[in-house]
Amino acid sequence: MMALALRRETIEKFQKEFEKDPKNRLAQNVCTKIDLKDLCQKRASAHLNHVVSHKVDVEGRPPTNQKVTGQCWLFACLNAIRVPVMRHLQLEELEFSTAYLFFWDKIERSNYFLNNVVEMWRRGEPVEGRLFSFLLREPLEDGGQWHMVHNLVAKHGLVPKQCYPESASSEASRRFSQLLTSK
């Protein structure tokens, strides 16, 4: 299979096209601050009451909270490297942005998926066949391993959470992934 890498020039072209339409800025702001399911269904959001009964001291502040994401693999890997980086840089607090890597993970997975679709089409695979069926079952599922984080960091780097904060979609990734793959 000949995979087409997602090149920086292509990303910049997409970004320029996106930024041409002022409605995209509005949509982007809304989608990063509001849960996509609430946006689509216009229903009242549930109020959660979290009761804490114990305090646990943590090494590496602030403590991270993956909420209802499918990003435990990102949180685990970033937490594993966070404390050594904090010690090396003599920082009292540091939190890497999982939302930043989540974004690039979805972009890279989408590119991989589309390359597979193109390759299967070139080979003449039937759309109703087993290979397409398997590929379409969960084209952008959550989850990953250490080598996937390594590849994302090597290609796209790391940023502090203050520079790339969480969004409603990154905090509830299942809904985001379902909407991405629903069409």
Q: Tell me phi and psi for residue 61, to 5 degrees.
A: -110, 150
For residue 177, CA distances in Å to 56, 105, 143, 156, 161 come to: 33, 12, 12, 21, 22
Q: What's the confidence (pLDDT) of residue 101?
A: 95
Question: Digits of tens for pLDDT over the chain (183 positions)?
Answer: 566 888 999 999 999 999 999 999 888 888 888 877 777 765 555 555 667 777 766 677 777 777 777 788 898 999 889 999 999 999 989 999 999 999 999 999 999 999 999 999 999 999 999 998 888 888 888 788 899 999 999 999 999 999 999 888 887 777 777 777 776
Cα–Cα distance between 34 and 72 in angstroms, integer?
22
The set of catalytic residues is 72
Model's pTM, two decimal places? Answer: 0.67
Q: What's the confidence (pLDDT) of residue 35?
A: 78
